[in-house]
Amino acid sequence: MDISDYIATGAAIVSVSACAINIWQASISKKHNQLSVKPMLHFDCILDNDLVLKIKNTGTGPAIINNCSLYFNEVLLGSNSQEIAYNLFEELEVQHLGGRMYIPGIRQAMPAGESYEIMRIDAVISDNQVMERIMNDLTLLTIDLNYESIYGEKFDISGPDFS
């Protein structure tokens, strides 16, 4: 083996090493990018004059909502916002109080830092007995939410926890 063979072998080793380091760096960069745009959804219940249930994205990236299902006492409440609202307000016996429901649509994006009001029951706090009964009944409510990041990572959340 003469000197040119050693030089060629050294160049090949340097080239393969540079390629391996580049691939490793790309995988680290992808992992960093995924973590920097990871959504994180959670439920928030607010008792002001009204009872408000929100879903918040406290993550660093948008959440793409794939499915949102509401159950009361383990029974599916319906397939659309109107049917779900009617059935839930009937189960809670609050039709007379007035309220609103919003169910996020399939493939709906929820930006980081955003919150959606899922349910509002008007003026529930004015009557302590009614409020106590509703809060007790809400322990039977379960919301299953499936969502994903912009990188396609899938997440599930189930709640809220009223206990």
- Do 31 and 85 share a domain, yes or no? no
Full residue range of the structural domain in which residue 32 is found: 1-36
Higher pLDDT, 125 or 148: 148
- Do 21 and 80 share a domain, yes or no? no
The tens digit of pLDDT for each residue in 152-161 reads: 999 999 999 8
- Do 64 and 26 share a domain, yes or no? no
**Which pLDDT score, from 0 to 100, does residue 18 have?**
87
The number of distinct structural domains making up the chain is 2
- Do 2 and 59 share a domain, yes or no? no
- Do 10 and 62 share a domain, yes or no? no
Q: What is the 3-state secondary structure (H, E, C) of the chain?
A: CCHHHHHHHHHHHHHHHHHHHHHHHHHHHHHHHHHHCCCCEEEEEEECCCEEEEEEECCCCCEEEEEEEEEECCEECCCCHHHHHHHHHHHHCCHHHCEEECCCCCCEEECCCCEEEEEEECCHHHCHHHHHHHHHHHHHEEEEEEEECCCCCEEEEEECCCC
What is the average pLDDT across 68-86? Answer: 90
Q: How confident is the model at residue 124 (pLDDT cuts 50, 70, 90)?
A: low
**Which pLDDT score, from 0 to 100, does residue 163 have?**
64
